[in-house]
């Protein structure tokens, strides 16, 4: 049984080892890290939705970025996390 009460085979999941699967694994690590710091699931979801809205307001439609552009954005964000960790 999957985490949301459906059998895993009935859930819309990307193929194992696909790019989407790897990105979901990254998101899951961040999710657990936030939970371990006292965040609850609804606050995490709300923070993500708020950040997405802020990004859309700032940058406009981002639906047509190339894979390379998305990777560059992700790498830049991970760099900001690393900097914050070093400075804390």
| Per-residue pLDDT reduced to its tens digit, 29-62 | 999 999 999 999 999 999 999 999 999 999 999 9
Number of separate helices (H) and strands (E) present in the chain: 3, 0
Domain boundaries, the chain: 21-87
In which band, very low, low, confident or very high, does the pLDDT at 17 lie, cut at 50, 70 and 90? confident
From the list 22, 23, 41, the residue with the least C-alpha distance to 31 is 41
Residues 6+ apart with CB under 8 A from 39: 47
CA gap 11, 19 in Å, rounded: 18
CA gap 7, 87 in Å, rounded: 43
Cα 61 from chain centre: 18
The pLDDT of residue 8 is: 62
The pLDDT of residue 1 is: 43
Q: Taking the complete model, does pTM exceed 0.75, yes or no?
A: no
Q: Which secondary structure element, helix H or strand E, spans residue 7, and what is its range?
A: none
Residue environment code for 9-23, b if the CB has 16+ CB neighbours within 10 A, otherwise e? eeeeeeeeeeeeeee
């Amino acid at each position: 049984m999957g985490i949301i009460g459906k059998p895993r085979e009935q859930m819309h999941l990307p193929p194992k080892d696909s790019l989407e699967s790897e990105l979901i694994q990254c998101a899951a690590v961040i999710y657990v890290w936030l939970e371990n710091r006292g965040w609850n699931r609804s606050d995490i979801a709300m923070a993500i939705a708020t950040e997405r809205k802020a990004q859309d307001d700032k940058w406009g439609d981002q639906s047509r970025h190339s894979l390379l552009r998305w990777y560059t954005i992700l790498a830049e964000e991970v760099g900001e996390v690393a900097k914050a960790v070093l400075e804390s």
